[in-house]
Amino acid sequence: MSLEGKVAVVTGAGQGIGQAIAVALAQEGASVAVVDLDLENAKKVADEAGKFSRSVPKRADVSSPADLTQTVREIVEEFGRIDVLVNNAAALHLVLPTEDVSLEEWRRSIDVNLTDTFLCSQAVGKEMIKNKSGKIVNISSVLGHAAVPKYAAYSASKAGILALTKTLAVEWGKYNINVNSISPGSTDTPRVLQTVTPEALKSREERIPLGRVNQPEDIASAVVFLVSSASGNITGEDIKVDGGMLAIHPGWS
C-alpha cells in the first residue's frame, strides 16, 4: 500500500497511537507532519519517522483556529499540499459517575475529542477541497458505539466523531475526499495506563475473542489501509479495531 509522494498530517502524534500512525505512514513512503502540543515529543517522533521518509515536527494547539490556520499554512508552504489528515488528538478523561462530572470536565472532553476533530477537518478540508482530493481518518472509540458506566463525557464525544465522520463523507464526497473513522478497543499505551491498571488491562483480554488488547500498531495498520488507494470507494465508514470485543452478544458468558 505505497503512499509514496503523499503528504500526511497526524495530530496528537507525540506518543502512543499517534506515534505509531505517523511512523507507519512514513514507512509506506508518505511525508509526515507530526503535530502535537508537546514539541519535544513531536521532534522525537519526527526523528523516528524520518528514518523512512521526510518528517517534520509541528507544535500546534488544535483547539485554536488561529494556531491551526498557521500550522496548515506552514505545512502547505513546506510540502505543497496535504493529502492525508489523521485526527488523533484526544484528552485524558476522568472516570466518574455522571452525577459527579463537572461542566468543566464535560466541556473538556467534548472540546478536545470532538470540537478539535471538527476544527482540524475544517482547516485541512479547505485545502483538500481546493485540490479536489484527500483522505481523512478520525480516531473514535468502541465507547462511541457501546456504553460503560462512568464514561459519559468521553463516550458522547467519541459518538459525536462517528456522526461528524458520516456528515463530512456526505458533504465532501463531491470533492473526491474520503472520510472514515476507526474505533479502537482497549489499547496498550502510556496514556491508557494512566487511567487503567496493567492488571485491569490484562483482565480485559479474557473477554476479547482474539485474546489480546490492541497495540498502537494495530490501529496504525488500519489507518494505512484507509488512506491508501486500496480504500478508494470507501467513505463514511467506521472500522472497529477491538479484537472482536463489540461482536460478542451481551447475554453470552
Residue-wise pLDDT for 36-84, tens only, equals: 999 999 999 999 999 999 999 999 999 999 999 999 999 999 999 999 9
Residue-wise pLDDT for 87-129, tens only, equals: 999 987 788 999 999 999 999 999 999 999 999 999 999 999 9
Q: Is the model's pLDDT at 226 over the cut of 90?
A: yes
Percentage of residues in the chain with pLDDT exceeding 70? 97
pLDDT at 201: 73
Domain map (residue ranges) of the chain: 7-186+216-240
d(CA 144, CA 164): 12
Q: Is the model's pLDDT at 159 over the cut of 60?
A: yes
Instruction: Give the pLDDT mean for 194-216.
Output: 84
Superfamily of domain 7-186+216-240: NAD(P)-binding Rossmann-like Domain (3.40.50.720)
Residue-wise pLDDT for 4-41, tens only, equals: 999 999 999 999 999 999 999 999 999 999 999 999 99
Q: Which of 34, 29, 26, 27 is nearest to 9 (CA)?
A: 34
Looking at per-residue pLDDT, the higher value among 196 and 170 belongs to: 170
pTM of the model: 0.95
d(CA 205, CA 209): 8
Q: Is 175 a catalytic residue?
A: no
Band (pLDDT 50/70/90 cuts) for residue 253 is low
Options 79, 118, 151, 154, the catalytic residue = 154
Instruction: Give the pLDDT mean for 214-223.
Output: 97
Band (pLDDT 50/70/90 cuts) for residue 218 is very high
Lowest model confidence (mean pLDDT) among 63-77, 83-97, 208-222, 229-243: 83-97
Instruction: Give the pLDDT mean for 152-173.
Output: 98
Mean pLDDT score of the chain: 94
Q: Within 87-246, where are the H helices? A: 103-109, 116-131, 152-172, 198-205, 216-227
Q: Indicate the length of the chain as a whole number.
A: 253
d(CA 7, CA 12): 17
